[in-house]
Amino acid sequence: MGIDYFYIEEGEFDAHLFHQGTFYESYKFLGAHKMLENEGYVRFIVWAPRAKEVFLTGNFNHWNETSLPLERIPESGLWNICLKGVSEFDAYKYRIITQENEVLMKADPYAFHAEERPKSASKYYDIEGFQWSDKKWIKERKEKDYLNGPLSIYEVNLLSWKKKDGDIQYSYDDLADELVRYVKKMGYTHIELMPVMEHPFDGSWGYQITGFFAPTSRFGTPKDFMNFVDKCHKNGIGVILDWVPAHFAKDGHALGKFDGSYLFESLDRAKAENDMWGTYNFDFTKPEVLSFLISNAMYWLEYYHIDGIRLDAVSYILYYDLSGKGIKNIYGGNENLEAIEFFKRLNSIIKKKHPETLLIAEESTSYEGLTTPLEEGGLGFTHKWNMGWMNDTLEYMKIDPLFRGKRQDLLTFGLMYAFNENFVLPLSHDEVVHGKKSLLDKMPGSYRDKFANLRLLYLFMYAYPGKKLLFMGGEFAQFKEWDEWKCLDWNLLEYDSHSSVQKFVRDLNKLYKEEEALYINDTSYDGFNWIEHENHKESIIAFERIGKNGENLIAVFNFTPVERIDYPIGVEEEGSYGMIITSDHKRYGGETKRIKTYKTKKESIHGRDFRLELTLPSLGGVILKKKN
């Protein structure tokens, strides 16, 4: 009995939008799809314009390499076949014959599912039909204002967050129970997942992708991942995905030289090769690549109800010269003009269809207008990682406290540009890996001083203008730097010093959501006033966070290991000010036993008519609020 297949008739498929770069739902047509008009058949379509021949091979034909030839769609670089007898989870690849008669075995660029590493074939999977139960979340999400609302992000690598006994990895279902419960308990508003798109090498952390439309099969099926997102939403937690439109893995089964030529990458070898990561760069001049990438972003929003996308390595997309190859644009500049237009188009399409989506750029240069709206001439991202704040603050915290006074500018300079963009303050995975030490181990001093410094850092972060992001393990003071091959050291929570930091971070998240002055004016000087920033000798700074209705907070930080008694701080209004949190409280592993209240004195200081005289703990900070 022969294999039952046929081809799309001319005129049945309009490839015009795909080749024009405006087919933003190309995932509904390319790849493998159940045919509604021909029951029992699955349609396969692949883009391979320079291929001499293309064959389909898989479980359904016992991996025969020549029995299922694809046919080119007229006047297109697309090939197709409609096959009967394909079952869900059947593995398959495309056997591509190049113009030089080289044989390539390629996974499907649009596959929704893939074999688990080290295998590399695609799997046929029916993506339709998941029963979502997050209608309430989706409705409320549309009404949220994440520019002027709280945004506290827990960054996670799913493979190394936690494992079962015997070093057994969690599944999506396990994570839907345990990770979601934990993040809810800790009070975060969002989880950010390091790339979940299919990738062959755990050590790439997911940033070298081979299957852009397939949630990694390490943890289960695509619908298992949908269930994870659904559980997050039902527990009031948003989900942000790391997304990598810069480059892709060179593995032989993946996108690289897909039809024997540079296809998804540039025909210019210097532009195609990404020497820094050993990958290929996407070519933003090709309309089909634009259709692929924008469709991919839309796919995660549409099918997985994702709340936000964090775009990785944006600087390396915006600028040619970061590659060190001396590449210039047509005007002699170093900006990648086509990439800039790609970002504008991407953000425009997402804003039009899903205006509530968080669009976060990891960008390390001073490129202007990244979070400026498109209609005002910007790129239209909603947020940008504040890499300058991260680098300066961590550099300061690593200094011996006795010498910090000489570098107080590292804490204060950031306010010169803090409102140029809509910033997220990231203490991310990049800062706690490969010899950089954990956040706790970066801190100087004795064992006790390290914990005090870390709590001080966290209080400073939550008081400072900008949204918050902390990588997993930081919330309980992981002592070892992150190792992608091992789970976090959860046993540390048996020790009071670590469990106390966890309580502190949980209480910071709670306070952050309760006190609107900490978030309501994050993007404007309307929300911030310096009180004291010139006391280099004693390494003390103080500032005011300003709410909408006079609900202001006073934040004071002592970065030396010396307690300051009756330290004067100027305030605008007479009255009593209560301490609403201190990093030095006994509950968190410090020395302060009770929450204090201070009354003003009618003596001017710091340009204000009244003063408070505070007890500032060594290596500690306090936040105060005026009592009614």
- Contacts of 375-380 spanning 24+ positions with Cβ under 8 A: 379/340, 379/343, 379/344, 379/347, 380/343, 380/344, 380/347, 380/348, 380/351
Concerning whether 312 is annotated as a catalytic residue, the answer is yes
Beta bridge pairs of residue 542: 532, 556
- Find tokens 């936040």 and name the residue: 623
First-to-final CA distance of the chain: 86
Which of 113, 55, 104 is closest to 79 using CA atoms?
55
Strands (E), 483-627: 528-535, 540-545, 553-558, 564-571, 576-582, 597-599, 610-616, 620-626
**163 DSSP β-pair partners:** 169
DSSP 75-135: TSSEEEEEEE---TT-EEEEEEE-TT--EEEE--TT-SEEPPTT---EE-----------H
The closest of 404, 494, 417 to 456, measured between CA atoms, is: 404
- Dihedral sign from CA coordinates of 327, 333, 338, 344: positive
78-84 and 71-72 beta bridge pairing: antiparallel
**How many helices and strands in the chain, by DSSP H and E?**
13, 33
Query: Which residues on adjacent β-strands are paired with residue 328?
Result: none
What is d(CA 623, CA 612) in angstroms, rounded to the nearest whole number? 13
Catalytic annotation present for 259: no
C-alpha span between 190 and 511 (Å, rounded): 16
DSSP for residue 276: T
Angle between helices 222-234 and 287-304 (to 10 degrees): 60
CA gap 582, 621 in Å, rounded: 6
**If you ran DSSP here, which 8-state letter would residue 319 be given?**
B
Which of the following is catalytic: 155, 198, 265, 362?
362
Q: Which two tokens stand for residue 578?
A: 């209560």
* CA-based radius of gyration for the chain: 27
Of 174, 307, 312, 515, catalytic: 312
The helix or strand, by DSSP H or E, that contains position 383, with its residue range, turns out to be strand 383-385
Cα torsion angle, 43, 48, 52, 54, sign: negative
Question: For tokens 């883009």, what's the residue?
Answer: 47
Q: 423: which DSSP letter?
A: E
Q: Which residues are catalytic?
A: 312, 362
